Amino acid sequence: MSEVDLNAVREAHARIRERIHWTPVMTSARLDELAGAHLFFKCENFQETGSFKARGATNAVLSLTDAEASRGVATHSSGNHAAALSWAAGLRGVPAFVVMPSTASRIKIDAVERYGGRIVFCEPTHRAREEAADRVVRETGAVLIHPYNNPRIIAGQGTAALEFLGEHPDLDAIICPVGGGGLLAGTSIVAKGLRPGIRVLGAEPEGAADTKLSFESARRQQVDHPSSIADGLLAFVGDMTFPVIRRLVDSVAVVSDHDIAAAVRSFLEVMKIVVEPSGAVGYAAVAAKTAEVAGLRVGIILSGGNLDLERTPWLK
């Protein structure tokens, strides 16, 4: 499988739907008023393992042959994919070897360990993560499940949008976070496949705006030393996901950490739900008006809820 299309996403959903949550869509009259738009929130913060990553990881693991699965799986991740792959590997009773940066949050390290993942720490750079993951694969023989440069991952992530538009087919626009690009690529494949006229938008922090730079220049451009409270979005957009994003996405919005923190706080105070910074950037872009959606019916994917309460001074 190399090309991901709408049928691939439908097949992924059929494969994983009994293992994951069909997450709710929530609304808020107050947030509508503040945004000047009609907002619909797909709450992947209520997903298994606390993020949308469970979708792609489950699809990838369940797609392996018995011989492949018996070798175990491996990946590198700052947290949510690491936890999701560890959990999904447990569904098949196989080991998961996970490379995590030394700066990973304690809550995400604890989650990986709780789901049975075997952690190898590395320096907090993209190159160090890739090199450590390659070494783990050589030493263990495990199958590499890349966090975003994997067709099964992209198809699995697209199932969130498939559910979303199945419930709300009249959305004018759909927006989601972008780091490595698996969720945005999968979302755009589904959205444009079901409704060619819908607007698809990505959102990312200004301290890690490589997708915006790449999108505007039509070639992948990496940001040196990316930094943001949205720690799940510091990855470099993938060479497999970027061509999809460039072809199908309408625009990419950028938001400040201040705006992201305000969005997290709004979810806590107004909707009474926990959304981590990476999961809140779509709404942050709408609230800060860097995504132009005034008067539209807008679907926003809240990608995760693994908020590390030990690292939240920015909420005060």
Q: Is 24 helix (H, G, I), strand (E, B) or coil?
A: coil
CB-based contact 120:132 (threshold 8 Å):
yes
- Cα torsion 78, 299, 151, 85 to 10°: value is 40
Burial class (CB in 10 A: 0-12, 13-18, 19+), 292: middle
The catalytic residue among 28, 63, 77, 78 is 78
* Segment (H or E) for 97: strand 96-101
Handedness of CA 293, 304, 42, 273 (dihedral sign): negative
Classify strands 118-122 and 96-101 as parallel, antiparallel or unpaired.
parallel
Backbone φ, ψ for residue 88 (5° rounding):
-65, -40
CB-based contact 178:234 (threshold 8 Å):
no
Compute the distance between CA of residue 218 and CA of residue 178 in angstroms, rounded to an integer.
16
Give the largest CA-CA distance in the chain.
55
* 22: CB partners within 8 A, 6+ apart: 163
Alpha-carbon distances, residue 128 vs 91, 106, 134 (angstroms): 29, 20, 10
78 is catalytic: yes
CB-based contact 147:153 (threshold 8 Å):
yes
For residue 66, how many other CB atoms are within 10 A of its CB?
Answer: 8
188 is catalytic: no
> Hey, which residues does 74 pair with through a beta bridge?
97, 144
Compute the distance between CA of residue 81 and CA of residue 98 in angstroms, rounded to an integer.
9
The catalytic residue among 28, 42, 53, 63 is 53
Active-site residue list:
53, 78
